[in-house]
Structure 1
Amino acid sequence: MSNFQIRKVAVLGAGVMGAQIAAHCANAEIPVVLFDLVSKEGDPSGIARRGIDGLKKLEPSPLATADRVQYIEAANYDQHLAQLAECDLIIEAIAERLEWKLDLYQKVAPHARGDAIFATNTSGLSINKLAEGCPASLRPRFCGVHFFNPPRYMSLVELIPCHGTDSALLDNLETFLTTTLGKGVVRALDTPNFVANRVGVFSILAVMHHTQRLGLGFDEADALTGPLIGRPKSATYRTADVVGLDTLAHVVKTMTDNLPEDPWATYYKTPEWLAALIAKGALGQKTRAGIYRKDGKQIKVIDLAAQDYRDSGREAADEVMAILKEKSPAVRFAKLRASTHPQAQFLWSIFRDVFHYVAVHLPHIAHNARDVDFAMRWGFGWAQGPFETWQAAGWKAIAEAIRDDIQAGHAMSDTPLPAWVFNHEGVHAPQGSFDARSGVMQGRSSVPVYERQLFPERVFGEVDVVEYGRTLWENDEVRMWTLDDDDGKHVPVLSFKSKMCAVGPVVLDGIIEAVHRAEKDFSGLVIWQPTAPFSVGANLKQIRPVLEAGDFVTLEGIVAKFQQMSQTLKYAQVPVISAVQGMALGGGCEIVMHSTRVVAALESYIGLVEVGVGLIPAGGGCKEFAIRTAEMAARTATNDPMIWLQNVFQTIAMANVSKSAKNAKELALLREQDVVIFNPHELLHVSRKTALGIAATGYRPKLPPAGVPVAGRGGIATLEMMLINMLEGGMISQHDYRVSKSVAMALCGGAVESGTMVSEKWLLDVERYEFVELLKTPQTQARLVHMLETGKPLRN
């Protein structure tokens, strides 16, 4: 059996989507050749080069680190097709025009290597029609690979075979997409718009229909179809602006052209008001005007009655908010349906029609109900897919309500619900999810890559409660547990139970105890949270009453305990692995910094942010940077730690948070030997294997430094000059200056002569002293209280 390797990728089409797919491959350490047409003037590959340059301007950035662009090579179809022979995977991502794609296939196919995979990123065109335009020899290696925008951040990739696609190739490609690119893969049927866009676009069309029917404003509909119902903040109409109104219209047209007999076909059309906006060039965010427009700081929204923009800001009515706060989904839906308020009727209607739609179309658009739900979660950012929302609200009661509305003529289609709906209690169960074509429950994929996901994402009804292993020991805020498999016998897991995994005295005690137990009975320990974040840092709520009592002795004791915990991690006799996903801030970052090794998901946002509340890192963060910079300086001819300390100082003083785990390495918050993976569901698997691998080397923790040469007064003076310039320029306040000078003191080892050799304990004492002194200032106390009460930093 040979290993499947993707060593180089070609992307055909340097538009926004193609360039971002190329960027994400480069994020994963895969070199990319990005092709486009020959430029009419200047650099022949100028179109592709502009696509690459555009990546640097996009926010959020498609690049995990800025240097990724150097691994994307600009090319054109006239001069560089021979380079396709070097590529293992070719992804076509040009405009959604069948004839353009087929013409390109004829041009590039002769240059593809005999074993290369050829994939199209089409959002809805028929894969089999496209395959027919390929040479017969290419068809076993042809398929659809539909990324969602933006490719770095959206989990979903739809994998769509043509009739002749090799099944082993699909399994290999799914493995690559899952582990190397970190995606959630749904195997889709070759049906117009596949799964996510088929349901998602219908959902948008249903919202548009009921918005107009009930006379709601676009901003009012967005207030209702965002986080209040478990959907993204951009809701419906803002999402349309972000995607591009022309793009939305194109996807709708795919349904118009290909689904004339569909029971909802009359709704597969671009509304007149939307067509008018497109005709005027108001395409949404990319043209700075669409359904919404920004005038200065004011967001305006189109008002169809006035044929002009008005101030936005309409919100959900109190009556509807009260319904949405009901804990029981069954009660919530019953009250929405019973209410006469237009907003309540709107919400019931959009849910009802989507439920109706997916039930009727399930056999035509997906292999099972789970694929539909995951597609909507991963591709459209819904907290729950339509089937699991329906099941959670009471399957039969909702089915009967939909049936009654269909009979009363209230639904968007008069097509009856399928008979199977009334023969089931739901579509998800422990044994699988319903496949409407075969009438049986279909289990999960058997592709071996999913064995790496010890706790895969679940749909409602698949399991009642996810059991995270067998408890070994716990206190009120942490739990040490293990899985009874081979790895679990040697490497237990520590998870936090505190809100947002915040770190207070009980968590500190728990970490110390867990390390001692791991040293006694196991080969390693993994710190992992079942859901992000890893940790938002110190539990400020627990500090507040002690601070208000002016008990600085107790506060210093808490800081000392934090430092004890960090040193316990650093000098543990077994490897301790921090498995990081999401935020690892403040004290959470210090846990990361003191672990033997870190395994971080790409989307990890790591930083020492204490200056935001008028404090400095004092759980060993400043100390650790002082040691690391001294070690790096010792490897240079000048032996000058300031080369690195200035950057470290700026990172801490500006409360910089990494924009990815790879960026955290650039900020020195992670070390070069720390591991970055792309799929967060594989974190625990990789972390346990990492612990075992390190233990197998006969691991011993590094001995404490005999002495650390510090930058001392000279270093402090250098850093202070930066602060003086910022203060005089009005960039920072007087208290910002005071806080940042404390950072300088801690990083430079205090007011000692430059080059003085100090102990690790000395560095801890300095950062602890500076921390407590800042706590005594009214300005820092005000910042802490403001953060607790508003969740926002105070600049005073």
Structure 2
Amino acid sequence: MSRFIIRKVAVLGAGVMGAQIAAHCANADVPVILFDLPAKEGPPDGVVRRALAGLKKLDPAPLALPEKVALIEAATYADGLARLGECDLVIEAIAEKMEWKLDLYEKVAPHLKPGAIFASNTSGLSIAELARAVPPGRRNHFCGVHFFNPPRYMALVELIPAPDSDAAMLDALETWLTSRLGKRIVRARDTPNFVANRIGVFSILAVIHHTARLGLGFDEVDALTGPLIGRPKSATYRTADVVGLDTLAHVVDTMAATLPDDPWHAYFRHPAWLDGLIAQGALGQKTRAGVYRKDGRQILVLDPQKRDYRPSAGEVAPEVGAILKQRDPAARFAALRASDHPQAQFLWAIFRDLFHYCAVQLDEVADNARDVDLAMRWGFGWAQGPFETWQAAGWGAIAQAVGEDIAAGRAMTDVPLPDWVAERGAYGGVHEPDGSWSAAERTMKPRSTLDVYRRQLYPERVLGEAAPEAGDTLWENEGVRLWRRADQDAGIGIVSFKSKMHAIGEEVMDGLLEAVARAESELDGLVLWHEPPFAVGANLQQVATACAAGEFGRLEATVAKFQQVSMALKHAQVPVVAAVQGLALGGGCEFAMHAAHRVMALESYVGLVEVGVGLIPAGGGSKEFALQAHRLAQRAAGGDVFLYIQNAFQTIARATVAKSASEAVALGFGRAGDDILLHADELLYVALHRARALAEAGWRPPARERKVVVAGRNGVATCEMLLANMAEGGFISAYDYRVGKAAAIALCGGEVDSGSEVDEQWLLEVERAQFVALLKEEKTQQRIVHMLETGKPLRN
């Protein structure tokens, strides 16, 4: 198959999933036609238009920028099907009703473009049965693609071949979904509910069963099955509310109807409380009532015995909490199994039955154990998949314990563990450096060798896989490591922060200055990269300690060094590329702003948030916004600098954090030419190549600005008017006003005449002076201490 290019996508169905799949294609700058039925009233495409309007209201936002919605066109099945001929990929995403899908396929098939891929976004229906409604000549380009909700944020897409799916077509689609949409792909078998939902829903059913058996409260179970065991904060019953109780019931019904021979089939049913809630229309988050509901500010939880709500107050028993804090997984599981406490018994039981189910069903549901573990990480947000958890706790010991419980009748079914479980005991589990166990083929299976995965230098790995290539260390101190990969461009160095949350303290600044100096003398370029977050800003603990000791001279010197580092990054004699993912706040944002180029993952949350602790940006961030305003004003009629200062002032004064890399560029934290990647694992690969390209193109550092027109006093006064309005409206405190004025002075170039020309160094000195003056204020010091103690800003 020649290189497959997707220039336009069609999505059939403008419901919750369809509209958000379309939105995520738009995030990737792929034009989309979104189809649905004609509206009964108003414009024919009213159903789609309402869905598109709804995208802007959802939280978390499906769109990386609201204006991305312009890439999505509205159409109806009644008069728009001919436009399918424009599309290279058509994704059907209507309701999970087989007869509806089959009827739609007959209507759309004649309009499909030759060679176009036709895919069904189904959460568990038979792909083979769906394929029978596709004309025989097109079946080689039909398959299943199961996006997880919400599509922008959930990494997993299950790719399910139909019986006649062309192998090259599947490879091309996997490549596109991976690199263009940033998805993590698991090739699933065409079995009911595929991989993640099959295992995930069973896990939920096991939790429901053991909740009732042990008489635990739903809120109590959610306290147990969240972050304490490596699961999301929404745990189990809150997750059911988020997914929708009707959706959960539908998936359970699918398992019950399609898996009659499953040894756990007796548990594939709805509990009475679930049927009762659905009958009442209490479907979870979308109806504002489900297992949980809010009464004013109070959270209530359903009591299934009383069939009424009570205040939610579920807690983990201290003795069970102590067990869960044990670092050794083997000791933790042994203690849970040995404990008489109902909560401990519950936790052991849900893991035991999960391990049991996964072992018995592995040969049917997945190609190998790695696919199961990664599916649960990416689709359900588990820190570890079930096989990893089992292997970490000691494969043989857990297998023996599970076997004993099966024999004693304590497990949910008496079917024995497969023979291969005991065989894998000699190898310590199912994951080894060279692959993961396939129960169906009784061999170890390596990872995919598709070319797209060569772009992922440090892909997410399961426990037991080969350790990633560590690279050659060129130099390091306590704060940073300067290194390079042996298998990549030896002329491009990588700087990685070593501090907690990559906070920027003295050791990081000293390390960066040394790394830049070494790069200038020994390398062709430099990349700032490490696992997220990129950097959470200055090390506030160091700042608070110096404030408490009254060491303001030392603090001013530290701010001066911070600025020195930013300028070293900007004016280095080799190109510096910032590879940004996750949080890039305060000083982290400033370092990225000063780089020659930025390669950002879409999910980068960038901002200058210093006002939250009573400070202003002083690592060159204020200066960079002043320079941006000067350059923009030079190209505008009238040349009014303040027109461009105003937006920057509001961004800083409100501590605005971009909710995507696209928004970061729009706010001025990046530039239009920066690279935005949807797959974060490609970040380092692209950054290294970008640094090389800049070096080969003869990159030179920018000259230091010597004539910068600033807004001056008039600009400061106008900013003060904005602050006064905010204060009068009760949006800011008197001290917020004080901090806001300091930000205005830094952005406007100080108390100078409007239209004055200053140089870059002057701007740095102004922002540093304002920053240090605020540090000396008691209320700023209170804000810093409060942030350190609570993680939240203080309004004083």
Question: Shorter-chain TM-score category?
Answer: over 0.9
2:497 is aligned with 1:492: no
Q: 1:543 corresponds to which letter in structure 2?
A: V
Q: 2 CA distance for matches of 1:339 and 1:584?
A: 44
Residue of structure 2 in register with 1:506 after alignment = 507
Residue of structure 2 in register with 1:445 after alignment = 448
Q: 2 CA distance for matches of 1:466 and 1:132?
A: 44
Q: 1 CA distance for matches of 2:23 and 2:505?
A: 40
Residue of structure 1 in register with 2:477 after alignment = 475
Residue of structure 1 in register with 2:781 after alignment = 781
Q: Encode CA deviations 1:448-468: one digit per residue, 9 max, x unaligned.
A: 1000001111101113x5443
Residue of structure 1 in register with 2:459 after alignment = 456
Q: 1:437 corresponds to which letter in structure 2?
A: A
Secondary structure at 2:772's aligned position in 1?
A: helix
Matches within 5 A, 1:154-233: 154-233=154-233
Contact in 1 for aligned 2:578/2:595 (Cα 8 Å): yes
Q: 1 CA distance for matches of 2:486 and 2:288?
A: 55
Q: Encode CA deviations 1:46-81: one digit per residue, 9 max, x unaligned.
A: 111111111111100000000011111111101100
2:749 is aligned with 1:749: yes
Q: Encode CA deviations 1:533-554: one digit per residue, 9 max, x unaligned.
A: 0000000111222111111100
Residue of structure 2 in register with 1:589 after alignment = 589
Residue of structure 1 in register with 2:436 after alignment = 433
2:393 is aligned with 1:390: no
Contact in 1 for aligned 2:3/2:172 (Cα 8 Å): no
Q: 2:631 corresponds to which letter in structure 1?
A: E
1:104, distance to aligned residue in structure 2 (A): 0.2
Q: 2 CA distance for matches of 1:22 and 1:582?
A: 24
Q: Percent identity?
A: 64
- TM-score where L is the length of structure 1: 0.99
2:639 is aligned with 1:635: no
Q: 1 CA distance for matches of 2:73 and 2:579?
A: 34
Q: 2 CA distance for matches of 1:203 and 1:493?
A: 42
Q: 2 CA distance for matches of 1:106 and 1:494?
A: 56
- TM-score where L is the length of structure 2: 0.99
Q: Encode CA deviations 1:428-473: one digit per residue, 9 max, x unaligned.
A: 000100000111110000111000001111101113x544311110
1:211, distance to aligned residue in structure 2 (A): 0.3
Q: Encode CA deviations 1:350-394: one digit per residue, 9 max, x unaligned.
A: 001000000000000000000000000000000000000000000
1:731, distance to aligned residue in structure 2 (A): 1.3
Q: 1 CA distance for matches of 2:258 and 2:249?
A: 14
Residue of structure 1 in register with 2:103 after alignment = 103
Q: 2 CA distance for matches of 1:545 and 1:307?
A: 54
Q: 2 CA distance for matches of 1:160 and 1:726?
A: 54
Q: 1 CA distance for matches of 2:591 and 2:705?
A: 19
Unaligned runs of at least 5 residues, structure 1: none
Secondary structure at 2:293's aligned position in 1?
A: strand
1:401, distance to aligned residue in structure 2 (A): 0.3
Residue of structure 2 in register with 1:123 after alignment = 123
Residue of structure 2 in register with 1:518 after alignment = 519
1:638, distance to aligned residue in structure 2 (A): 1.1
Q: 1 CA distance for matches of 2:747 and 2:681?
A: 36
Q: 2 CA distance for matches of 1:485 and 1:363?
A: 36
Secondary structure at 2:52's aligned position in 1?
A: helix
Q: Encode CA deviations 1:314-351: one digit per residue, 9 max, x unaligned.
A: 11100100000001000000000000100000000000
Q: 2 CA distance for matches of 1:37 and 1:8?
A: 21
Q: 1:181 corresponds to which letter in structure 2?
A: L
Secondary structure at 2:492's aligned position in 1?
A: coil
Q: 2:511 corresponds to which letter in structure 1?
A: G
Matches within 5 A, 1:56-135: 56-135=56-135
Q: 1:722 corresponds to which letter in structure 2?
A: L
1:486, distance to aligned residue in structure 2 (A): 4.1
Secondary structure at 2:639's aligned position in 1?
A: coil
Contact in 1 for aligned 2:10/2:87 (Cα 8 Å): yes
2:572 is aligned with 1:572: yes
Contact in 1 for aligned 2:273/2:307 (Cα 8 Å): no
- Could you say what the CA RMSD is over the residues aligned between the two structures, in angstroms? 0.8
1:135, distance to aligned residue in structure 2 (A): 0.6
Q: 1:630 corresponds to which letter in structure 2?
A: H
Q: Encode CA deviations 1:70-113: one digit per residue, 9 max, x unaligned.
A: 11111110110011000000000001111110000000000001
Q: 1 CA distance for matches of 2:611 and 2:716?
A: 17
Q: 2 CA distance for matches of 1:306 and 1:105?
A: 47
Q: 1 CA distance for matches of 2:492 and 2:320?
A: 49
1:575, distance to aligned residue in structure 2 (A): 0.6
Q: Encode CA deviations 1:711-743: one digit per residue, 9 max, x unaligned.
A: 000111111100011112221111100000000
Contact in 1 for aligned 2:469/2:485 (Cα 8 Å): no
Q: 2:497 corresponds to which letter in structure 1?
A: F
Q: 2:437 corresponds to which letter in structure 1?
A: F
Secondary structure at 1:270's aligned position in 2?
A: coil
1:706, distance to aligned residue in structure 2 (A): 2.3
Secondary structure at 1:113's aligned position in 2?
A: coil
Q: 2 CA distance for matches of 1:705 and 1:190?
A: 62
Q: Provide closer, same or farther for how the CA distance between residues 330 and 574 of structure 1 changes in structure 2, counting only shifts above 3 A.
A: same
Q: 1 CA distance for matches of 2:638 and 2:689?
A: 40
Aligned residue pair count: 793
Matches within 5 A, 1:259-274: 259-274=259-274
Q: 1 CA distance for matches of 2:708 and 2:375?
A: 53
